[in-house]
């Protein structure tokens, strides 16, 4: 029993507001979509205290990349995103510690395998540059597997996810208007065959305010758990 306990798989997730979170796997910090300094709700978070070995960017919108360069530079972290976004960091900021990937491709990093998945959305960069196609990330590691959908509509492509991975949890947008709302996120959870969902991309702006209690109840009615961590909170999954 003690041996089993020592071998227990653990992934720690810290929520930094909006769609920004970090997952710690085997001591590596993988940060997703940092949007902290412009986020009023996240003003308690100091970006200079955020650890990152990797910064994964789902798409080029400001509300997903605002603090990416600062945090990547602070930590000498590798930026992982689509080819266009990675190229933009190279040409505009001369930040070349980066890994380009494109939809359907996967790569083995030190913490596990990452597949860049389809998302239905848009991806213009803050200066108007083309940001490639938006995506999500599927991470398979020896400590567990998870899927971050990125900003996306509900899509049948999500039915592919369980063919590639047995998920321990998934991070889905639930704020509606710019992405899926709660009803579609419940269907997405069914498509990806995952009962433990961390909700993101809600409440930050007027267009995406939600009723959190109702959202949790809606998932519960379908036998699924919706986790809405506080900003700055770390949970084990
Ligand atoms: Ni977006
Ligand atoms: Mn967004």
Residue 103 domain-assigned (yes or no): yes
Residue 9: the pLDDT is 82
Distance in Å, CA 125 to ligand 1 centroid: 10
Beta carbons within 8 Å of 5's beta carbon, 6+ residues apart: none
Residue 3 domain-assigned (yes or no): no
Distance in Å, CA 207 to ligand 2 centroid: 11
Distance in Å, CA 59 to ligand 1 centroid: 7
* Structural domain boundaries, residue 118: 12-228
Residue 57 domain-assigned (yes or no): yes
Residue 188 domain-assigned (yes or no): yes
Beta carbons within 8 Å of 123's beta carbon, 6+ residues apart: 59, 60, 61, 82, 84, 85, 130, 131, 132, 133, 134
Residue 207: the pLDDT is 97
Run of H or E residues at 89: helix 83-93
- 8-state DSSP, 46: -
- Stretches where the chain sits below pLDDT 70 are 1-7
Distance in Å, CA 222 to ligand 1 centroid: 27
Residue 77 domain-assigned (yes or no): yes
Residue 5 domain-assigned (yes or no): no
Q: Give pLDDT tens digits for 67-77.
A: 999 999 999 99
Residue 127: the pLDDT is 98
Residue 131: the pLDDT is 98
Residue 143: the pLDDT is 96
Ligand nearest to the CA of 122: 1
Q: How many other C-beta atoms lie within 10 A of the C-beta of residue 219?
A: 21
Distance in Å, CA 205 to ligand 1 centroid: 13
Residue 236 domain-assigned (yes or no): no
- The CATH number of residue 17's host domain is 3.60.15.10
**Total structural domains within the chain:** 1
Distance in Å, CA 129 to ligand 2 centroid: 17
Q: What residues does 196 pair with on adjacent strands?
A: 225
Residue 71 domain-assigned (yes or no): yes
């Amino acid at each position: 029993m003690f041996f089993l306990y020592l071998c227990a798989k653990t992934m720690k997730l810290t929520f930094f507001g909006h769609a920004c979170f970090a997952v710690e796997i085997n001591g590596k910090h993988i940060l997703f979509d940092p949007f902290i300094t412009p986020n009023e709700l996240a003003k308690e978070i100091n970006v200079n205290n955020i650890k990152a070995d990797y910064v994964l960017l789902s798409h080029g919108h400001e509300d997903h990349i605002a603090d990416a360069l600062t945090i990547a530079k602070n930590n000498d972290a590798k930026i992982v995103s689509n080819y266009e976004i990675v190229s933009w960091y190279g040409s505009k900021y001369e930040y070349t510690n980066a890994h380009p990937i494109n939809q359907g491709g996967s790569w083995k990093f030190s913490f596990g395998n990452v597949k860049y998945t389809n998302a239905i959305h848009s991806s213009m960069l803050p200066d108007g540059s083309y940001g490639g196609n938006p995506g999500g990330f599927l991470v398979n590691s020896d400590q567990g597997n998870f899927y971050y959908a990125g900003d996306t509509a509900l899509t049948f492509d999500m039915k592919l996810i369980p063919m590639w991975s047995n998920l321990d949890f998934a991070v889905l947008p639930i704020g509606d208007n710019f992405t899926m709302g709660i009803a579609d996120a419940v269907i997405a959870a069914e498509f990806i065959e995952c009962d433990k969902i961390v909700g993101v991309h809600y409440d930050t702006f007027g267009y995406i305010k939600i009723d959190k209690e109702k959202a949790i109840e809606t998932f519960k009615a379908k036998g699924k758990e919706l986790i809405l961590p506080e900003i700055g909170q770390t949970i084990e999954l």
